[in-house]
Structure formats: structure tokens, C-alpha cells
Amino acid sequence: MAESFDVLTPLVTPFDADGDLDVDGLKSLVRHVATTGVDGIVPCGTTGEFETLSPGEYRTVVRTTTETVPEDCRVIVGTAATDVATVHERMAFAAEQGADSTLVVPSYYGGQASGAGNEAYFESVLADVPLPVYLYNIPGAVGQELSVDTVAALAQSDAVAGLKDSSGDLPYVTAVLNQTPEDFTVYQGHDGLFVPSLVLGGDGGVSALSHLLYSELERAGTAVANGDVAEARAVQRKILSPLSEACAEFGFAPTVKALLADRGIIDHATVRPPRDSLSPDAVASVTGLL
């Protein structure tokens, strides 16, 4: 079991009622999340709707996050793109702004790449990187799995710090843990598997629910570290899993934004197409769960 663990927040990107970037809302949200005690913040990831941001908005989100976050809270910037040059450009900008590391997915257009193709893509990405890199396995969004063999091969690089896995596939996590070095960090990206991943030896989670439930995640992780399986199981089953299922049903960004807006932490629950805001009934359902 994990003796220590991290909880990081995949930050939503606040928009105003018209769908424009809400910079003041972003600053306020970063301060809110950081004061809960999370170990790090991850802007411009999947929950941050990175693919809907213009290049200028992307830079504004990265700059605003790094300028607002306290020194003791890490920043891992999502730098996904379909071409290596853009990934490198985003990595360089993240480094200039003082980010601690970056998060990179496989190229997400063109169908199922071969293992050799994905390795070649990441080897190109990893050439002369300015920051440590976390690999990101999210087949539901990318359209392909980052294979265990590819992760194991890339884990030998000094530039690769670890993996965020959002596949929801616990055997995949087990295989990665078995085939990578002890110092290779494995973060769970699926809130419904936070406790099981820690029990297997994972290093924590990049948890959308940490926007609002950091204390519960900390409670569950501490219970795992202390060998209190009953406590960890209770938090996972009664709190984390039901809300995680709601996020999976309605979408993580729309659901988290609805919860944050209901609590007055952000002004609007606006999301950009192709995501859709929750209906009033769905909002009532998820806020009732919270």
C-alpha cells in the first residue's frame, strides 16, 4: 500500500455567461483550490477543456495559474497537441512561466497508432524537454490506449516522471506498477478508483473531485496509509464513487462546474461545445449527492 500520496486538481477553466474566459474567476478558483491543501494544480487538461481554448487563452490560463498559485503547490501544465512542435512550444511556455512539469497525451488524431509509432512520437516529444513529463493515458478521449509496454519503455527516460491514468482499468494500473521503476510515479485520474489504486501502490490521484472534496480524498488516502481498509472503503463507496459516477454520466467539466457554481466558488457553470451544461434536474441530482 502507498505510504504517502499526492492529490492534484485538474483545474476547470471558468468562463463567463457568454463563454468568454473569466480571468478573475480563474484567479479566485486557483486560490480556493490551493488553500484546501492539494499538492498540485493541473491547468489545461481534459477537465480544463484545453481543446476549446485559443492559443492566446491557453497562454493566459497557464500564466494566470502559475502567477496565482502559492509556492508550495506544484503546477503540472497540460501540453497536449497533435503535433510535436506545438507540444514543444507549450512546454517551453510552461517552463518560462515557472511550471514544475507537464502532462502529455499520445497524438489524438489518426486512429490507433502502433506501439512503435507512439514510442517514436514520445521520443520526439522528449527530445530536449525543459521540464519533467508525465505521460497521460486517457483512451476514452484520445481514441487509443498508451500501452503498458510503451509506458515501460518511456519510463526509462530521465525526462519522464510518471503517468496519469484515466482509463478506469485497474489491471492496466497493476501492470504499469509491475513494469516500471519504483521511483516512477503513477497517478490515478479516475476518482472511482482512487482508493484501489493506492492499495495497489499508486502514488495518488489527479482528482476532479478535489475541487470540492480534498478533505475526503485526504481522509481516504490516510486511511490506506494507516492500513484502515474499512475507513478507506467507506469513503470510496459512500462519497467518491457516487460523485465519480455522476461525473462520468454528465461529463467531468460540466459536473464539477455545476457543483462549484452551486457553492458560489465560480460565477457560472458555462462550458464550451461540444460539452453541454447540466439540466436543472441533473444539477439538483449532483448537488444533492455532494
Catalytic residues: 136, 164
From CA 223, how far away is CA 210, in angstroms rounded?
17
DSSP 193-258: GHHHHHHHT--EEE-TTHHHHHHHHHHHHHHHHTT-HHHHHHHIIIIIHHHHHHHHHH-HHHHHHH
Contact (CB, 8 A) for 108 and 142: yes
From CA 261, how far away is CA 265, in angstroms rounded?
6
Q: What single letter denotes the amino acid at residue 83?
A: D
Task: Return the percent helix, strand and coil in the chain, to nearest 5.
Answer: 50, 15, 35
From CA 245, how far away is CA 181, in angstroms rounded?
32
From CA 12, how far away is CA 25, in angstroms rounded?
11
What are the backbone dihedrals phi and psi of residue 88, each rounded to the nearest 5 degrees, phi first? Answer: -65, -40
C-alpha cell at 184: 516512477
Q: Is 142 annotated as a binding residue?
A: no
Q: Is 148 annotated as a binding residue?
A: no
Contact (CB, 8 A) for 164 and 187: yes
Binding residues for pyruvate, as ranges, are: 47, 206
Binding residues: 47, 206
